[in-house]
Amino acid sequence: MSSDYCPSRHRTVRRLTRVVNVGGVAVGGLNPLRLQSMTTSDTEDVAATLAQAIRLAEAGCEIIRITAPNKAAAIALKDIHQQFRAAGFNQPLVADIHFLPVAAMEAVEHVEKVRVNPGNYADKKKFAVLNTPTKPTPKSSSASTRPSRPWCSALRPSVAASASAPTTARSRTVS
């Protein structure tokens, strides 16, 4: 084992990483460590999830993660997000996605960030739905009929593997 990985158990050495913005919160680089936590309620229970998100924000969380295990939960993120903002909170909401690309594609419409666990997207067949071509653009029109979505690249299998790189953001659960 290389001594460069952990030169001292008593002195923290922080490696410089690139900055990633989660909503208006910068993570990595020389930014401070960010306090984040995750709700534990059923996401489809909008009132319970909203109440937990508000409690986390009031406790000082800078980033709030909410699981979206299926498309119905991802759709519920719309109401959670709207009501969270209406309550006066501006912390970014992050959808945690596992296994279902359709949940990720729905969630991305409602929250500031979608966290995809790339290990759960290892099966290339699951991406067949996302990689199917859209309707062909008429040759007479140069404009695409579908809006540009640069954030979709994070869901492509070729990019998903590189998305697993570690960052310096640290998590701490708030009760």
* Helices 46-58 & 71-86 angle (0-180, nearest 10): 50
Predicted pLDDT at 28: 95
Burial class for 102, CB neighbours closer than 10 Å (0-12, 13-18, 19+): middle
Tell me which DSSP letter residue 91 carries.
P
Side-chain-facing half-sphere of 71: CA atoms under 13 Å: 4
3-state secondary structure of 85: helix
Q: What average pLDDT score do residues 107-113 get? A: 96
What pTM, to 2 d.p., does this model score?
0.66
Q: What homologous superfamily is domain 33-124+144-163 in, according to CATH?
A: Dihydropteroate synthase-like (3.20.20.20)
pLDDT tens profile 45-82: 999 999 999 999 999 999 999 999 999 999 999 999 99
CA–CA separation, 145 vs 16, rounded Å?
41
Assigned token pair, 113: 């960030």
Residue carrying the six token digits 């924000």: 57
CB 108 within 8 A of CB 140: no
Distance between CA atoms of residues 162 and 154, nearest Å: 9
Residue 43 has pLDDT above 50, yes or no: yes
By mean pLDDT, which of 7-16, 41-50, 116-125 is the weakest?
A: 116-125
Model confidence pLDDT, tens digit, residues 117-157: 777 665 556 555 555 555 554 544 444 444 444 443 444 34
In the chain, which ranges are continuous DSSP H helix?
46-58, 71-86, 101-107, 128-131, 157-160
